[in-house]
Each structure stands twice: as structure tokens, then as C-alpha cells.
Structure 1
Amino acid sequence: MKQEKSKTSRRDFVKTAGVAAAGFMIVPRHVLGGKGYIAPSDKLLIAGVGVGGKGQSDLAGFAKNPKAEIAFLCDVDDRRAANSVKAFPKAKYYKDWREMIDKERRHFDAVSVSTPDHNHAIVALEAMRRKKHVYVQKPLTHDIYEARVLTEAAKKYKVVTQMGNQGSSSDGSASITEWYNAGLIGEVHTVYAWTNRPVWPQGIPWPATKSVVPKELDWNLWLGTAPYTEYVDKLVPFNWRGWWEYGTGAIGDMGCHMVDVPFKTLGLTYATDVDCSVGSIYNDQGQRNYFPDSCPPSSHVTMTINSSKQVTPVRLHWMDGGIQPERPAELGPEERFGDGGNGVLFIGTKGKILCDAYGRNPRLLPVSKMDDLNVPETLPRVPGQEEGHYTQWVDASIAGYGKMELRSDFAISGPLTEALLVGNLAIRAYDIRVPGANPNSFQYPGRNKKFLWDSANMKITNFDLANQFVQRKYREGFDDFKFKL
């Protein structure tokens, strides 16, 4: 009887559905659209903030996923935005991101942020508050406090997040983690990461000559959270990286690409101490130039970071400006150290691993160990690797918070960025100058010091002057977006 009742119910349902179809002519969207048709409801509508240069390539990366639609473009400089405007002619264009988010918030699902560093956090946080998924270029933030806030905000607002260090999704990064997990190099006690950046001016005075603001550029919006200053030539679109008000120097530019590999592999968490040395430029009188607003031409930062995978803390060395660590004895005389300008070296109790930038070309040292290497793949790979870093974020955003694992969501990239910015705090504290005992003399109390970092309270405990760099004061007009943990 139950079976017969089920058949009758099914017949009734089919009959009713047939009448409804005849009456209302309901046809599925995929039938109307043909093969490969994606319903608008299944697409991720993306708003780009900062759409020139790297922002342009980010949008192009998202667009490779057929489920992505670039719906809005925003840039303070019409010249920089021109290529994206041409590439996405249906996207509506704005200059002020605040206006775009306020007016169009119901018409997009996600925001890509590729502004200069000093405006990353303010745009990302406002988007997250509107429950928009966010993709933010590296470094995640300009300040330590901002990194902590965005990490917490991702959990609070339950949005899908990703930082733009695309090498994090490379197969090489996953392989290194598998080798470490297999015990091939034992417990890692030391890591070196280095780069030949900066490739922009650093250790220089602020230009004395003022210039005319290009008509296509809204200078006030470009400054955003930073203090107002008159426009100077050649700061935009690239050389801002070397100025502390806007950029984060070489460690901010390349650190998220390089240090990401050991951070994930070793389960690194927060730094406990940091010290540094910086390169200097001297004038004709043999005096060291003092330009505290400009990042130094080179630096060597060393910090102790705890690991969730091993008892031994890790001593992490960051080197920039062309400084490199000593070549390991296991490296042949003709073998390249990293990729020639960048590299990461893991030193463990049983062996060493070397890789290039972005985790590429990983190899055990000596490389003869690679001949018999047979470690099973235990970690998932990202389809498309670095390109997949973009397209997978699109899929994850459509799936919803917590449904897909990403290689650099804010739970990972937030603490990573914070650690790197602790390194920058040490670099800036190194050059703090206070009046000396005699007129026209100065002292530099931050030099020759190891700074003790209290990660829970986000402060240096043994040199309070350094704590001014934990969180900036925003410029009036941009300070109404309050950050609260």
C-alpha cells in the first residue's frame, strides 16, 4: 500500500507540474542560456578598489573564473584605471571608494583592495562590515594593530578572505611543508629569507620641489589616511613604497611572499623579540644621513617566533637591499643561492631546504638528496597554482564562509603580516632620535637593543618609544572609520 500511495503522489505531482509549466511557461535559466550558461545568482560580483597596475592584474585573475563578474571599478587616478576601464566596459567607475561602497553596497558581493599599503585596512574593514568578502593585496596592512583588527574582523563578520601573496598557492610551498612534516630536516631552528628589493629609492630626503597635481589624480583621496602633504613628482604610482607614511619598505613588499613559506610550514605564530641593523648613506662630511621618513636602503631583521609544530622557537632572519646570508656548505660553487636575488633557507637539526621566491623550485641540500626523494603528497594542491589563488577565492566566496580552505586567508596572513610589521617596528625604532646632553647633539636610544614583544598586548615592553609605530593616527576626514577589536 505504501508503494502504491507513493506512485499516486508522484503522478499527481507530475500532472500538477505539467499544468503549471503549460500555464506559466517556466523554463530553466540554463535552457535559455545554453551550454555553459551561469545564472546571475551564481556569480560573484566584484568591486575593485585600486585598479591600475597590480590591481588590474588582480581583476584579470578573478575574471579567469567564469563565475566572477567585475561589476565596479574605483581608482583615484584615471590614468592608472584606464586599462581596467577598457577591459571591463560594463563596470561602473568611481573615484571615491567610500561613495562606491555607500551607493552600490547592494549590488556587489566582494571587494578587491589594491591601493597603496596605508589605505588597505580602512577599505577592507568597511567592506567586511558590509558583509563583503575581501581580497587584499600584500602586505595585508600598514600597521600592526590593523593586521590584528582585520584578522579578528574576518571571524566576526564571517566573510571569505584572501591576501594577495599568490605564491602561497604554489605546489612548491605545499611540497616544502610535506618534506618538513615527513621529518626530512628535523626540527628547524633557523630560517633566512632575503630579497634584492628595494628597487625604488630609499634612504633619501623628501623632495624639496613641489609639482603640479595631474588633472587625472585626486591627490586628497590618494593620501587617504596619511597626513596631508603637497604633491611631489614620481611618488605615484610606485615610489611611495619607500616612505613610511604610505609604504612598508622591502619587508612589506616581498616579506609576505618569502616568509609565508616558513610561516605555514613551521606553524609560526607571534614574535617574542626582535632586533635589527640597517644600512646607511653618508654625506660628503662623513656624517650619516638622517631621513627617518624614508625606509633605509637595506636592513637585517632577526626575530624569535614561536611554533605550533615544534618545541623549539625559530630564529627568523630577514635581509633586504641585496644582503644575503652565508652560502651553505652543501651548495655547490656554481649553484644559484635562491633565484639569484631572493630566497628562503630552512636550517634544521637533520638537514636544509632551499627555495626561490614564492616557494618556487624547492630542493633539499645537497641537491643530490633529491634523486631518491619519495615523499607522498598529503596536502591538497590549488588547481592552477598562482592563478588559482585568485579563482579559488571566487569559488570560496560563492560557497560561503567556512566552506572552502584557502592558502592565505586572514587567519594565516594576518599573523604573518603582523610578524613582518614587528620587524618594521624595530627598523623604525632603530632611528628614533632624541636630544642629547649638549646643544645640537642627539642620541639614538633604539640602537644596539633587542626589543621584547608582548604579542597579547601588541607592545614593546622594554622601549616604549617604539610603540608609536604600532598604530597610526588617521588624518581628519578619514578617521571616522574606527577600529575596535
Structure 2
Amino acid sequence: MVQEKNNQGNSVSRRSFLKNGAMTAAGFMIVPRHVLGGKGYTAPSDRLVVAGIGVGGKGESDIHEFSKGPADIAFLCDVDERRAANSVKRFPKAKFYKDFREMLEKEHKHIDAVSVSTPDHTHAVAAMAAMQLGKHVYVQKPLTHDIYEARMLTEAANRYKVVSQMGNQGASGDGVRQLMEWYNAGLVGDVHTVYCWTDRPVWPQGIPWPTAKAEVPKELDWDLWLGTAPYKDYIDKLVPFNWRGWWDYGTGAIGDMGCHIIEPPFRVLGLGYPTSVECSVGSVYVDEFKRGYFPESCPPSSHVILKFEGKNGKEVTMHWMDGGIQPARPEELGPNERMGDGGNGAIFIGDKGKMMCGTYGMFPSLLPTSRSKQVNVPQTIARVPEGHYQQWVNAAIAGYNSDKAKALSSPFTIAGPLTETVLMSNLAIRSFDIKKTVDGKTTFPGRYIKLLWDGANMKITNFDEANQFVKRTYRDGWSLGV
């Protein structure tokens, strides 16, 4: 088990979430070896004791992947006993909780690391509470629901000296490294334009909030599931998946897929915060003659244009398309050849050539595709044979200052700015529905304008109303603790 952090850090961080509710102490379940050894004893760092927050669906597969290596899944936490059932069966010795705050309060001395795989709106509060207790964290994509949360988690990982990784597993794949080697070798020249696209959403979007109430399943703690979000009555089929299409909980198609598809160009081109963003969005027909926009729900499709300052000082334009919208096929791609992986992908356009990939950076290819077999670029970037999950487990065991931690594929220093870029697209999309009524006339001043972004200060400088989407107001009783 990894050595426990100093007691002062623990007491400060405990206060940050104890205000959310009174917690009681509990006896040991797993006794850390450094406790048995007495003060000053450092235990051999050969196993990582992991707690899972959100252990159904993707959370279930995450902790299963961790358990394949030197990790013990000792604690499980989920607000829905139905979703947790498989993990409870797979890890029968793990202690189960519904409230992550209670679990961390009672068991933090017995935990080395925490995996967070909840709906987007509770990623930040769960991860921050764990980091404040000195726990290493693995958080599913997107890292957070809001830009502000992403910035705070990025800073906190460094402040609390914990090993962090976001769950965009393609960041550890060979594909993105191949793309980097081609780019670094100058095969496509300076990339000035990137197209990224997805066929998501595959859940309802662009719809009004249902008026019919539904009975809360007895296994689900609805109030805990809502977490930071405003209280609303439960609706049918929101859980376990359709929450992705509602702004209170999810981050839409780009939140779901952006960290997988934007990551390759973000990494290959060394991008930072965008300098501007603009968008157009699809709408639905509410009757035969009227198109409708529903601000509680993500749109059915969108096209976002982000501008960046590239590594060489030249501007890079990134297009994001979802809802089935795709860019024009490159002329170098044959009429029957697959573009990206079909429904998703990214195309890099440079002044000397083009290259493309699918989701996770898979299927990397120079264009025309025959060129990939004709060039021979030496491998200069180390691969990750152990994979994304075990890379994090091994780094957490080695510690914050270890070479393994420094070599992580998606630590928050990388995942945070990437997530901010993804969420900047949503800021533009949500600004599309801002209304103003003057003299009885309704206008939408956030539509069809370019929003200028001051990344260092997390602020839109030319349309202040858009800044409401940088940071949410949490429901009473919930705090990020910063």
C-alpha cells in the first residue's frame, strides 16, 4: 500500500467535505502496513488499494482493468445498487457504500487511489475530495462538467502531489504516437486545419424536459445521484445513459467523444487553450412550421470552430462536427475507402500533406493511404505496452515524483486543458440559446458571433453573458472545496 500523506493535509481536506454532512468514524477493514509498522515506517509499494466511485457500466470495466495488475479493489461506491451488482459480485470482499463522502470519511486511511466513473456532473466533487485526502485519481472522460472544474482539478493534482489520469484510453495507444512521429518528421508540414467528427449522440437530444414523473427505482438513491445538480423529479430512462443529453448532468456528444477524438490533434500539434470559438447548431421541428430549441437539452447536432495558436506561432483552425455531420472527403482518399473509422475521426491538413485517424487515434494513415506503406519513419516515441489502466496503477505505486508518473499519457496537466477545449465548444453551443427581450422583441445575441477567449483568466471577453457557462452553481450542500 502506498504510504499515507501527512496528517495535516488529511485534516484540512476532511473539513472541505465534512460540511456536506456529518460523518462517523469506522474501524479498519484493511490495515495499512505503514500503520502496523509504526511512525516512520514506509511500506513496500507493491500493491495499490483502489476505491471505485461509480462501479456500473464503464466504472465496472475500469476497476476490472485495474484488478488485472497489482491493484486490490477494496471499496465500491454507487448510488444505484442495480448498476453496482456486477462489481459487487466480482469483488465480494470489497466494502460497499452509496455516498462517496461517507466512504472517504470512514475509509480514507485504507485507500491509496480512487477511480471516478460517475455521470459528468459529479466527476469534479468526487475527484477533488479524493485528491484533498492525498489519493491518486483516475477519472473518466470528460474530466469535468465545467471549465472551472477542469482548471481546479488540474491545479489540485499538482498541489496535492497525486498521480492522475483521465480515462481517454486512446492517449496510451500506438496510433497517436505514430501520428506524432509522422508530424515531427515533417511529412505533412505545418498543420493549419483539423476536422474532428462523431456520429454521436445515440441518446435523445434537442428535446424538452418530460412533464411526466416516474417512480424512482427502489435501488436508486435519487438525491445522491442528483448530487451537485438542481433538484428535479425523476424521469423515466434518464438513468443509466440518457442523462448525457441534458446540460444539468451531461456534456453532450462532444463531452462523450471529444476527449477521444480531439486528443490526437491536441497532442500532436501541442495545442493549448483556444483563442476563439463559434458554432452553429441543429434544431428540431416542434410542429409543421416551427423549429424549436430547448435550452435544457444538448442540440441534436452542432458544428463548432475553434482557433488556436500553434507551436510555430501559426494559427490552427479546428472544426468539431457531431450528430452525423461530416467534413468533405479529402481528394486523396479513394471513393470507397473508409474515412476515419466511419462514424468518427480526425483529419489533419498541413501545407505539405494530410493524415487522418479514427476514434482513440486508431487507424492512423497518411493520405493517400498508400503513402503510409511507402514511408519509413523511425520510432522515436516510447509505446505503452502495459496499456492505459496499468500505466496509471504502476505510476501510482511508484509515486508522484517517479519517472513512471512523469511518463503518464493523460495526467491532468494534459487532460485538464484538453477537457477545457472540449467544454469551450459547449460554452459556445449553450450561448446560442441566451435570450434577451427588449421592447417586447426577443433576440439571441449569442448566435452567429465569434466568442473571444482569455484562457489564462477563463473568460469570454466580448460577450459577458457567455461566462455563466464557465462555472456552475452547485445545489446547496455540495461544494468543490476550493
**TM surpasses 0.5:** yes
Measure how far apart 1:428 and its partner are. 0.2
Question: 2:67 is aligned with what amino acid?
Answer: A
How many Å separate the matches in 1 of 2:209 and 2:283? 16
How many Å separate the matches in 1 of 2:297 and 2:436? 18
5+ residue gaps, structure 2 = 1-32, 34-42
After superposition, residues 62-461 of structure 1 pair within 5 angstroms as 62-65=66-69, 67-307=70-310, 309-384=311-386, 388-403=387-402, 404=404, 405-438=407-440, 441-461=441-461
How many Å separate the matches in 2 of 1:152 and 1:482? 13
Measure how far apart 1:296 and its partner are. 0.2
Measure how far apart 1:42 and its partner are. 1.8
Q: CA-to-partner distance for each residue in 1:159-199, whole Å, 9 max, x for gaps? A: 00000000111101100001000000000000011000000
How many Å separate the matches in 2 of 1:187 and 1:133? 37
Paired residue secondary structure (2:114): strand
Q: What residue in structure 1 maps to residue 9 of structure 2?
A: none
Measure how far apart 1:431 and its partner are. 1.2
How many Å separate the matches in 2 of 1:56 and 1:306? 39
Measure how far apart 1:212 and its partner are. 0.9
- Alpha carbons 2:293, 2:299 under 8 Å: kept: no
How many Å separate the matches in 2 of 1:41 and 1:365? 47
Measure how far apart 1:448 and its partner are. 1.3
- Alpha carbons 2:48, 2:393 under 8 Å: kept: yes
Larger Rg: 1
How many Å separate the matches in 2 of 1:133 and 1:448? 42
Paired residue secondary structure (2:418): helix
How many Å separate the matches in 2 of 1:391 and 1:268? 27
Question: 1:44 is aligned with what amino acid?
Answer: L
How many corresponding residue pairs?
Answer: 438
Question: 2:463 is aligned with what amino acid?
Answer: F
The Cα RMSD (Å) is 1.2
How many Å separate the matches in 2 of 1:283 and 1:108? 51
**Which range is displaced more, 365-374 or 179-188?**
365-374
Question: 1:322 is aligned with what amino acid?
Answer: G
The normalised TM-score by structure 1 is 0.89
Q: What residue in structure 1 maps to residue 64 of structure 2?
A: 60
The normalised TM-score by structure 2 is 0.89
Measure how far apart 1:436 and its partner are. 4.1
Question: 1:210 is aligned with what amino acid?
Answer: K
Paired residue secondary structure (2:360): helix
Measure how far apart 1:286 and its partner are. 1.5
Q: What residue in structure 1 maps to residue 4 of structure 2?
A: none
- Alpha carbons 2:259, 2:418 under 8 Å: kept: yes
Q: CA-to-partner distance for each residue in 1:184-239, whole Å, 9 max, x for gaps? A: 00000000110000000000010110011111000000000000111111000000
How many Å separate the matches in 1 of 2:146 and 2:459? 12
Question: 1:400 is aligned with what amino acid?
Answer: G
Paired residue secondary structure (2:162): coil
Measure how far apart 1:317 and its partner are. 0.6
Measure how far apart 1:119 and its partner are. 0.2
Question: 1:194 is aligned with what amino acid?
Answer: W
Paired residue secondary structure (1:213): coil
Question: 2:329 is aligned with what amino acid?
Answer: R
Paired residue secondary structure (1:428): helix
How many Å separate the matches in 2 of 1:400 and 1:40? 12
How many Å separate the matches in 1 of 2:113 and 2:389? 13
- Alpha carbons 2:59, 2:117 under 8 Å: kept: yes
Q: What residue in structure 1 maps to residue 467 of structure 2?
A: 467
Measure how far apart 1:283 and its partner are. 2.2
Measure how far apart 1:40 and its partner are. 7.7
Question: 1:129 is aligned with what amino acid?
Answer: Q
Measure how far apart 1:41 and its partner are. 5.1
Question: 2:372 is aligned with what amino acid?
Answer: M
Measure how far apart 1:482 and its partner are. 2.6
